Each structure stands twice: as C-alpha cells, then as structure tokens.
C-alpha cells in the first residue's frame, strides 16, 4: 500500500530536480555549465561569472551540473536508508512553506452526469518546510591542481556520505525544530504499537507486528540497530523455533533494516510501511569554494548546502515498541 499524495505545488517531474533555482529554469545539463562549474571548483574565480544563473541567492552556492547531480543522488541513496525505503519528492520552485495532503479514498461509481464526490476537506495535511543542512570539507591544493585527480568523484562521495548520515539520523530522531520530524517524534512520529517491560520477548515482537493495520503490513519492514538485532536473533517461540529467519534475514517474513541511529532503549524497534515516510527535497545540493578560510593550510574548502524536509505522513503506518525498565 503506497501513499497517494496530492499537492499542486509539489507534483513536478523528477527530471527538473536540479534545474530550478530562484524560481527560474537553469540549463545545468549543457556542457558549458559543467565546464565552468569544474573550473570554479578547481579555483577559477572567473568561471563563476558563467554560473550566475545557477547561483542560490540566499547561500551563494551553485547548482551541480546535471550529470554530477545524478551521481550524487545515486550515492546519497547508498548512505541514507530512508531514501531507499521512504518516498522522495521534489518541490524546488519555491522557498516558502507548502502543504502536502494524503488520501486513500476509493473512487466512486457515478452516473454519466452525476456529481463526483470529494473528500478533499478531510485530507490530512502536513506543512513542508525547507530546512537547511550544510557542511564544509577541505582538500589540499596539490590534489586539486592535479588534473588527474577525480575531483568530481571525491566531492560526490564526501558530500553523499556526510549528508546521507545526517539525513538518516534526522529522519529517525529529528525534532522538527530546524530539521525534519523523525519517525520517533513524540507527537508526529510513529504510534506506539506495544509497550514492553524489561527484556523484549517473542510475544512483544509478535504483538508489535499485529498492532499494524493489515494493509500497512503488506509492505511492512522492521527497523532497529545492531544491538537490538542481536537480541532478537536469540528469541525462540514455545517450540524452540527462532523468531529471526537466519536464511533470509527476516522476522515473520518481513525484511529487517539496520540503522545505527535507532536507540537501544526507549523505542528500539519500529515496524510498518516506511514508504509513508516522505522526504521532500526543496533545493538539491549546491556547492561553492572557500579560499581564504583554508589558505594558511594550503587547502581549498567546499561548502555544500541542501534544503529539505521529512515526516511520517501517516503515524499509523508505522508502529514502535516502547520499552520500559
């Protein structure tokens, strides 16, 4: 059961993801843009003059060339679990807050001239912000001046690794204050499916599974950290059968996802349909160089900036186990 999402300002094709900035179209796919961008990244101030259309007015950073953006997007998915199991959308034409709504209402059978019913007013709505995530990395100038050094690959991997980890941490534990609302958020995150006292038992895990409404179980998956996974791998039922299927790495036939950002206490296990966790990219990665800050170290700095939001569109789609001592 996948989320059906409606928002007029959100529903744009993915192919424009890296083409809109400051509410205008930027041709980042042409070779001249790419050539100028990488000249700028290697230290040419003059090259920035050819990138003016790709400049973000608030951060003074620049859009990646289209081919580099595609490589970055693929690398980011490797380091951010939620970009693989969640639903990713883009809404890059505005920096202002937008609203996103959701429904799974069935269409209605109506006569040829009958009135089509609407339930739009009952759609649950989520406000979508543009939270800023930023980091600086630096590289020795000797590497950058070497034309054999694959600067593109280096920056793609470095930014993807760091942004991916930061995103995943926020998509789980985010407070909603200057960052996304994580699945463990007390009021807007996953609902509590079962409360367990002390050590987690086989029955506790079974209860969490069945606390999730059947349609959400169809695409269900487990989420926990390594410490919790190790505990669950030792659990057996009354007949001595292990809860964890060692051959398929599943629990009750559902896949298990491991994240180091899940806690070992409090809410250590989540189960449900994580496709209802919605990530909205408000502005893709933009980059610029920093010279003076690292000049004495004979390095060039690179600042990377993203704007995005994330939230669980339906709190009932994912349930968590709350463990008390």
What crossing angle do the helices spanning 66-79 and 151-173 adopt, rounded to 10°?
50
pLDDT in tens, 162-216: 999 999 999 999 999 999 999 999 999 999 999 999 999 999 999 999 999 999 9
Q: Is the pLDDT of residue 13 over 90?
A: no
Q: Which residues face 258 on adjacent strands?
A: 224
Residue 321: how many CA atoms within 13 Å on its side-chain side? 28
Query: Which residue has tokens 């600086």?
Result: 136
pLDDT in tens, 253-270: 999 999 999 999 999 999
Residue pair 306/134 in contact (Cβ under 8 Å)? The answer is: yes
pLDDT in tens, 83-122: 999 999 988 765 556 666 666 667 778 888 888 777 655 5
Residue-number span of the structural domain to which 91 is assigned: 1-325
Mean pLDDT over 148-158 rounds to 96
Q: Is the pLDDT of residue 10 over 50?
A: no
CATH number of domain containing 290 = 3.90.1690
Two tokens, residue 147:
């034309």
Q: Compute the distance between CA of residue 221 and CA of residue 265 in angstroms, rounded to an integer.
A: 20
Q: Is the pLDDT of residue 218 over 60?
A: yes
Q: Compute the distance between CA of residue 181 and CA of residue 88 in angstroms, rounded to an integer.
A: 15
The Cα angle at residue 165 between residues 189 and 315, in degrees rounded to 5: 10
- The conformational region for residue 176 under phi > 0 = left, psi -120 to 50 = alpha, else beta, is left
Share of the chain above pLDDT 70, in %: 86
- pLDDT at position 46 is 95
Share of the chain above pLDDT 90, in %: 76
Q: Is the pLDDT of residue 324 over 60?
A: yes
Two tokens, residue 293:
């800050």
Mean pLDDT over 29-49 rounds to 95
Phi/psi for 55 (5° steps) reads -85, 130
**Number of domains into which the chain is organized:** 1
- pLDDT at position 180 is 97
Two tokens, residue 276:
């209802």
Q: Compute the distance between CA of residue 206 and CA of residue 252 in angstroms, rounded to an integer.
A: 8
- pLDDT at position 115 is 83
Q: Is the pLDDT of residue 233 over 60?
A: yes
- pLDDT at position 5 is 43
- pLDDT at position 298 is 94
Of 133, 153, 120, 161, nearest to 279 (Cα)? 133
Q: How far is CA 112 from the centre of its chain?
A: 43
pLDDT in tens, 125-152: 778 899 999 999 999 999 998 989 999 9
Three-class DSSP labels, the chain? CCCCEECCCCCCCHHHCCCEECCEECCCCCHHHHHHHHHHHCCCCHHHHHHHHHECCCCCCEECCHHHHHHHHHHHHHHCCHHHHCEEEECCCCCCCEEEEECCCCCCCCCCCCCCCCCHHHCCEEEECCEEEEEEEEEEHHHHHCCCCCHHHHHHHHHHHHHHHHHHHHHHHCECCCCCECCCCCCCCCEEEEEEECCCCHHHHHHHHHHCCHHHHCCCEEEECHHHHHHHCCCECCCCCECEECCCCEECCEEEEECCCCCCCEEEEEEECHHHEEEEEEEEEEEEEECHHHHHHCEEEEEEEEEEEEEECCHHHEEEEEEEC
Query: Which residue has tokens 């019913």?
Result: 117
Mean pLDDT over 70-93 rounds to 94
């Amino acid at each position: 059961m996948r989320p059906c999402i409606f928002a007029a300002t959100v529903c744009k094709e993915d192919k424009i993801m890296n083409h809109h900035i400051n509410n205008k179209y930027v041709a980042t796919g042409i070779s001249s843009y790419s050539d100028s961008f990488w000249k700028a990244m290697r230290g040419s101030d003059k090259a920035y003059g050819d990138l003016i259309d790709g400049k973000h007015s608030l951060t003074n950073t620049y859009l990646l060339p289209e081919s580099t953006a595609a490589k970055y997007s693929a690398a980011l998915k490797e380091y951010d679990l939620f970009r693989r199991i969640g639903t990713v959308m883009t809404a890059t034409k505005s920096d202002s807050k937008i609203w996103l709504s959701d429904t799974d209402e069935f269409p209605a059978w109506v006569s040829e001239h009958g009135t089509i019913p609407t339930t739009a007013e009952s759609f649950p709505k989520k406000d979508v912000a543009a939270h800023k995530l930023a980091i600086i990395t630096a590289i020795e100038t000797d590497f950058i001046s070497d034309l054999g050094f694959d600067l593109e690959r280096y920056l793609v991997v470095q930014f993807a690794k760091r942004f991916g980890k930061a995103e995943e941490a926020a998509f789980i534990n985010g407070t909603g204050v200057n960052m996304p609302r994580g699945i463990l958020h007390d009021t807007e995150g996953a609902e509590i499916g079962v409360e367990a006292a002390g050590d987690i038992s086989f029955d506790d895990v079974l209860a969490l599974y069945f606390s999730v409404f059947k349609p959400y179980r169809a695409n269900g998956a487990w989420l926990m950290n390594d410490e919790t996974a190790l505990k669950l791998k030792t659990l057996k039922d009354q007949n001595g059968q292990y809860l964890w299927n060692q051959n398929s790495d599943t629990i009750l036939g559902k896949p298990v996802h491991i994240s180091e950002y899940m806690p070992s206490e409090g809410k250590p296990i989540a189960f449900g349909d994580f496709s209802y966790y919605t990530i909205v990219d408000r502005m893709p990665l933009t980059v610029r160089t920093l010279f003076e800050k690292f000049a004495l170290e004979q390095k060039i700095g690179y600042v990377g900036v993203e704007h995005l939001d994330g939230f669980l569109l339906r709190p009932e789609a994912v349930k968590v186990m709350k463990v008390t001592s």
